């Protein structure tokens, strides 16, 4: 099955929620864990025990693993393996973006069969030009994996690039969305090239002329829960594209830890709330 088909099935079975695995230094401290590779491993194991096999996807943020060097990257590999063992889709949030052979090497690391870092999908940045992602697109589609391409992000600086207009008057964000749509054309139930669209961007899609319903791929929506986005915000941002949305919650779920049962309850509640808002 393609990534788009597997994700659609997981969202139908478990609800449209992705749990972010973001082991901030402060969160490790809140959980009584040391800010080192051993604390990172305990954190990741607790999260996967709580949500593995119970939510549609998890999204480890690579930077919080990489900051611990090779030992931290080894823990990221363990998260990818735990996802496979529990039947939970893993979106590696690494936001890679480069050109030529360098982009090819990133693709090889995160999308190649047999790579210990290869989850089910990878977040990527298209702002060296969408075509710079071709090595990742080709390998993702040939290996049954997916991509989530940054499109409309919630950081305050994002509009400087994403809302800018090209020579023909189209916004950069709308161009990114149209390129993803072309790659997903004809896919059923949806394609494997998704977009990242912040759940707190308000009417940015409308203002930039970005047609999210035409993408025919998954829409990863960070910012649900602790960052302020709920049912009203999701409706305002995504409108008729709501069924394509995979809501992502990190702090909203993780603050319930380190107790496994409490984490599991928080994740299941967040999943139910996302389903009510989006389904």
Tell me the catalytic residues: 95
SS3 200: coil
Q: Tokens 């707190």 sit at which residue?
A: 200
Q: 114: buried, middle or exposed (CB in 10 Å: 19+, 13-18, 0-12)?
A: exposed
As a whole number of angstroms, the distance between CA 45 and CA 188 comes to 34
> Kind of pairing, strands 146-152 and 193-197?
parallel
SS3 15: coil
Two tokens, residue 69: 């060097």
First to last CA, the chain: 23
Rounded to the nearest 5°, which phi and psi values hold at 247? -75, 135
Closest C-alpha to 165, from 194, 207, 221 = 207
- For the chain, what is the total number of helices (H) and then of strands (E)? 13, 8
SS3 247: strand
Buried-state track 34-63, b at ≥16 Cβ within 10 A, e below 16: ebebebbbbbbbbbbebbbebbbbbbbbbe
As a whole number of angstroms, the distance between CA 116 and CA 215 comes to 30
Closest C-alpha to 129, from 151, 99, 94, 157 = 99
């Amino acid at each position: 099955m393609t990534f788009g088909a597997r994700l659609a099935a997981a969202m139908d079975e478990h609800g449209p929620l992705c749990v972010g695995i973001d082991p901030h230094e402060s969160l490790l401290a809140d959980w009584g864990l040391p800010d080192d590779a051993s604390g990172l491993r305990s954190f990741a194991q607790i999260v996967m025990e709580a949500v593995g096999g119970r939510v549609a996807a998890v999204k480890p943020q690579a930077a919080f693993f990489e900051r611990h060097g090779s030992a931290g990257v080894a823990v990221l590999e363990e998260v990818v393996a735990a996802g496979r063992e529990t039947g939970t889709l893993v979106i590696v949030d690494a936001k890679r973006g480069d050109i030529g052979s360098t982009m090819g090497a990133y693709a090889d690391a995160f999308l190649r069969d047999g790579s210990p870092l290869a989850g089910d999908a990878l977040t990527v940045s298209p702002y060296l030009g969408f075509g710079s992602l071709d090595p990742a697109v080709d390998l993702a589609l040939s290996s049954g994996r997916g991509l989530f391409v940054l499109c409309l992000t919630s950081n305050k600086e994002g509009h400087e690039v994403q809302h800018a207009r090209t020579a023909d008057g189209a916004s950069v964000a709308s161009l990114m969305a149209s390129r993803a749509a072309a790659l997903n054309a004809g896919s059923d139930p949806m394609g494997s090239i998704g977009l990242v669209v912040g759940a707190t961007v308000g009417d940015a899609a409308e203002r930039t002329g970005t047609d999210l319903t035409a993408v025919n791929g998954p829409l990863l929506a960070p910012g649900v829960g602790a960052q302020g986005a709920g049912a009203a915000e999701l409706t305002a941002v995504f409108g008729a594209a709501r069924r394509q949305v995979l809501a992502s919650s990190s702090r909203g779920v993780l603050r319930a830890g380190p107790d496994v049962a409490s984490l599991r309850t928080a994740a299941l509640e967040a999943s139910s709330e996302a389903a009510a808002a989006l389904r």
